[in-house]
Structure 1
Amino acid sequence: PDRILDIDPALEDMIILRDSQSSSGISGPYACLSHCWGGYQPLKTTKETLLIHMQGIHWERLPKTFQDAIAYARSLNINKIWIDSLCIIQDDMTDWAKQSALMAKIYRNAILTISATAAQGPNSGLFREQMEQDQPLLHRAWALQERLLSPRVLHFGATEIMWECMETSCCECGGEMYDFYLRDWEKKQLHPTTLVNSTASRTATGWRCLVYHYSMMRLTIPNDIFPAISGAAKVIAESLRQRGISSTYIAGMWKQSFIEECLWHTETDYLSLPLRRPLTYRAPTFSWASV
């Protein structure tokens, strides 16, 4: 990442936003935090606060979810963490576009993604004392891509902690994770080994499975429909290029399997959200992203 949060315990009650490209930057393993913004983010990096955050952020200013994630990362001897609202300049569209384009690399290279799966917002924290059933992060479009790209994800859920990686998934109760939607086979579609050994046809099938799940997710900003899945698309495009397969990405679809992908249709079941077209244009009508 271009910026990373230094959470070394030696800093005590302070964390520091570092520029990874400068001499004061730091290298080594880092964690990512996947979380719901909850409609309001009390602490974020802007043009005005960038230099302030690079001087240091006091612990008491951090939302509860951030505090819990940092404390847990420290317990694993991970001294750096990437949090989108603090590592991206939120009111700088140029920086936002640049950093969102790097999402695939950021999450794929993280040693662990800490997922605030049951947290409604930044002040909810990771840990639960009561049996809450809702796990809002599992319904967010951006979070789905983060899960797909991360080699390892530790979910702090409503009732238990759950583990998910490129090989398997499991939870404390030892049963099935029914609310996870993604099966292990679908998660593995972005595994480097799977992509290297896959045919173009199987890669296209895997993409359609991912789009199926992605289309059920919620977006706060409708026009984020393509940015929120662009990291996964870049991973697939790069794997096709490495195998010498020509690929063109068109509005969420691939040219080499364009006819098949035009056969998409809408459906409604107990998992689906009510379908309606966005009020403003975001995709051509031949694309699944238009609905």
Structure 2
Amino acid sequence: MLCSLCKDLPPLRELSDFEYPTIPALRRSASAGCEFCSLVSAAISDILPPESRALGLSTDVRTPVKISLCHKDASTFIKVWQWSTSNCGYLEVCSDPSSTDTIKDSTQTPNPYPSKRPLPDSHQSDSTFEFIQATIQNCQATHSGCPRNDDVVLPTFIVDVQTAQEPFLVQNDGTQRGSYIALSYCWGPASVQELTWLTKARLPSYLKCISLASLPQTLQDAVSVTHRLGIQYLWIDSMCIPQDDEEIRQQQLRVMADIYTQSFATIQASIPHSASDGFLALSRNPYGVPVRLPFERDLVSGHTSFAIVRFVPVRKGDEASADQRAWIFQETVLPVRVVRYCATLVVVSCRHEICTEDGCEYDNFNRFSLSPRAYYHIRPDLRPDSIPPEFPRIPSTNHQKQALESWYRNLQMFYSPRVTSVSDDRLVALSAYAREAHSVIGGNYLAGNWSVDLRKGLRWQPWGALLQRAVTYRAPSWSWAAYDGNVCHLYSKTDDDGQDGWMPTIVDAWTKTDTSPYGACRAGKIVMKTRVFRFSITGDLLNNKTYAGQSTALESDVVQLQGNKESAICYAYSDTTAGIPKDKVLCGAFISHKWGLVLAKSDGSDTADHSEGREDEFIRVGHFRTIRGGIQNYQQKKIVLI
């Protein structure tokens, strides 16, 4: 049902700054049963401040609500806003499959308002599986850079979901071949899955039968999708890696890159925060019934085309598990194909393209999205000519430099902001990705850094909020992996590194790990020769104000060699919320002409083995930038970072 005002709406293509009454009037109309007023009301409520949403009010109840048609992200939307709010809400405009009348464009110009396909209400619909199968088949048939992976050596343990009524575990001796699906999901609380984990005690029974009903819902859904896609085997980490056998567990972690890169496809459950939630049965339209409205009217023939309008919230917290979980980073990059179950649709991506179920055009090489195509960013040596390089300014033959640039960018944008429930996983969850990158970058891998580019590797700093130091030791202070939070690496163009004598000389660098060189780090040291100076801090130390439990943006301390505040020669920035210590001997070590590390003398408690600190051993506590004429009183000396 539509109210009188909505019935008088112009065709959507002519929609421009159409005014609705105030928000209270809009909500009254929605309560009376107007379906479009309900969608507009939901869109404007979605962008109100939290206190206004809680009270059911607007920041200005007297201001009208406006709507206009717009083009955004290669799709068509109705923009909803109010002058008193700074953000806009959006209603998606989809094509109407029941509309037989189409308007011909006599000018033959591109349609500025492309429409998405309307979607079924469920992830379990036949059309959804037809879309997945058709997209994968097209990938196999036409993409030279996407291996078929339909006849590979199976992992050591794999779940057979096709042969019998109930799934069962298969133990491969290295000779069995086939194709398999891998599952990428958020475990959630350990209690959800620990009763079904693969253990030494459960192995004999799992080789005979696994009760499907006993599995968490996400695992049941993965079995259903794999079976429906006609793939015989499914790999699930918790059920294919013995959880109480550390030796086998570590061996499986070392081949994790192979498990994902050789999978036929990876199912990614991006919606649930726990394995118990499932992803197939969730409603796709929990925000109101879609509405059919006129889209365009031909004045000559009188024909009218129609569109389907639905509300999509700005806040998509229901997909935060995939965006925030550290392990899902490499589980997205390494596979050939990923079938991602999002809140409102399914997205199938491969190393060539991204295809959305609603038919929305997608920038297949958009730098600001993560998908399997990022595999060729760290393996440019394997990239086919049909896929353009990520960094065209770098010679196509310089694979090492391309991989390094991608490593630093992906750390900043896609990995370092993510969280881990186990401290050691900061490096372990990146290990398979690092192993692939190592084959191109070369040298030694040093706790998230590379020996062949260590000067650049040291030039990281917090991005946004200050970092948190891990409670237990997991990496040297000079490695970004020792901290929780978002980091960025400075590019060489930021400062003048070409001046003679300002680049440090790396004398020695090493790290110690338990097993794999890409795993958890237990100790590490860098010995370098560079320009070093002592300093003191004037004024107050870093003031770490808090707001709503979050650290504020970065603030700086003024650092000087001697004298009063007017003689300050650089700004020092703390890396962490702990600030720059006032009770330790401080010095600055140049990494480039205008940028360097703020170091504090170690007291022996900064290493995993708690060895007694020596005079030349320092820990990183921040970074500095020079100001005015730069620093003249320095010494060229050897210094040890731990």
TM over 0.5: yes
Alignment partner, residue 262 of structure 1:
458
Contact 1:18–1:26 (Cα < 8 Å) also in 2: no
Q: 1:16 aligns with which of 162, 168, 185?
A: 168
Write out per-residue CA displacement over residues 55-75 of structure 1, whole angstroms, 9 at most, x where no aligned residue: 210221122111111111111
Q: 1:108 aligns with which of 255, 261, 266?
A: 261
Within-5 A mapping of 1:275-290: 275-290=467-482
Alignment partner, residue 58 of structure 1:
211
Q: How many angstroms apart in 2 are the aligned matches of 1:85 and 1:109?
A: 19
Q: How many angstroms apart in 2 are the aligned matches of 1:96 and 1:259?
A: 34
Contact 1:151–1:165 (Cα < 8 Å) also in 2: yes
Q: How many angstroms apart in 1 are the aligned matches of 2:411 and 2:330?
A: 11
Contact 2:448–2:480 (Cα < 8 Å) also in 1: yes
Contact 1:186–1:210 (Cα < 8 Å) also in 2: no
Q: How many angstroms apart in 1 are the aligned matches of 2:258 and 2:161?
A: 21
Contact 1:167–1:188 (Cα < 8 Å) also in 2: no
In structure 2, runs of 5+ residues without a counterpart are 1-154, 287-315, 385-395, 484-642
**One-letter amino acid matched to 1:91:** D
Q: Which has the higher helix share?
A: 1
Write out per-residue CA displacement over residues 224-266 of structure 1, whole angstroms, 9 at most, x where no aligned residue: 11111110111122234xxxxx421111111111101111111
Within-5 A mapping of 1:1-291: 1-8=155-162, 10-12=163-165, 14-21=166-173, 26-40=176-190, 41-42=192-193, 43-127=196-280, 128-130=282-284, 133=316, 134-135=318-319, 136-173=321-358, 174=360, 181-182=369-370, 186-191=374-379, 193-194=382-383, 198-212=398-412, 213-240=414-441, 246-268=442-464, 275-291=467-483
Write out per-residue CA displacement over residues 49-108 of structure 1, whole angstroms, 9 at most, x where no aligned residue: 122211210221122111111111111110101000000111221111111111100000
Contact 1:7–1:79 (Cα < 8 Å) also in 2: yes
Alignment partner, residue 52 of structure 2:
none
Identity %: 29
Contact 1:166–1:184 (Cα < 8 Å) also in 2: yes
Contact 2:349–2:371 (Cα < 8 Å) also in 1: no
Rg comparison, structure with higher value: 2
Q: How many angstroms apart in 2 are the aligned matches of 1:184 and 1:72?
A: 20
Q: Which has the higher strand share?
A: 2
Q: How many angstroms apart in 2 are the aligned matches of 1:266 and 1:39?
A: 30
Corresponding residue SS for 1:138: helix
Q: How many angstroms apart in 1 are the aligned matches of 2:209 and 2:202?
A: 11
Contact 2:160–2:170 (Cα < 8 Å) also in 1: yes
What is the Cα deviation at residue 131 of structure 1?
A: 5.0
Contact 2:378–2:404 (Cα < 8 Å) also in 1: no
In structure 1, runs of 5+ residues without a counterpart are 241-245
> How many residues matched?
277
Alignment root-mean-square deviation, CA: 2.4
- Superposition misfits of 4+ residues, deviation over 6 angstroms: none
Q: How many angstroms apart in 2 are the aligned matches of 1:119 and 1:204?
A: 33
Q: How many angstroms apart in 2 are the aligned matches of 1:91 and 1:208?
A: 35
**One-letter amino acid matched to 2:213:** E
Contact 2:351–2:374 (Cα < 8 Å) also in 1: no
> Judging changes above 3 Å, is the alpha-carbon distance between structure 1 residues 268 and 143 closer, same or farther for their aligned structure 2 residues?
same
User: Which segment is superposed worse, 180-189 or 100-109?
Assistant: 180-189
User: Which segment is superposed worse, 222-231 or 189-198?
Assistant: 189-198
User: Which segment is superposed worse, 29-38 or 184-193?
Assistant: 184-193
Write out per-residue CA displacement over residues 109-166 of structure 1, whole angstroms, 9 at most, x where no aligned residue: 0010000111121121122214573211221111111111111000011111112211
TM-score normalized with structure 1 length: 0.87
TM-score normalized with structure 2 length: 0.41
Corresponding residue SS for 1:154: strand
**One-letter amino acid matched to 1:223:** D
Q: How many angstroms apart in 2 are the aligned matches of 1:176 and 1:268?
A: 29
Q: Which structure exhibits the higher relative contact order, with contacts defined as CA atoms closer than 8 Å and separated by 6 or more residues?
A: 1
Corresponding residue SS for 1:110: coil
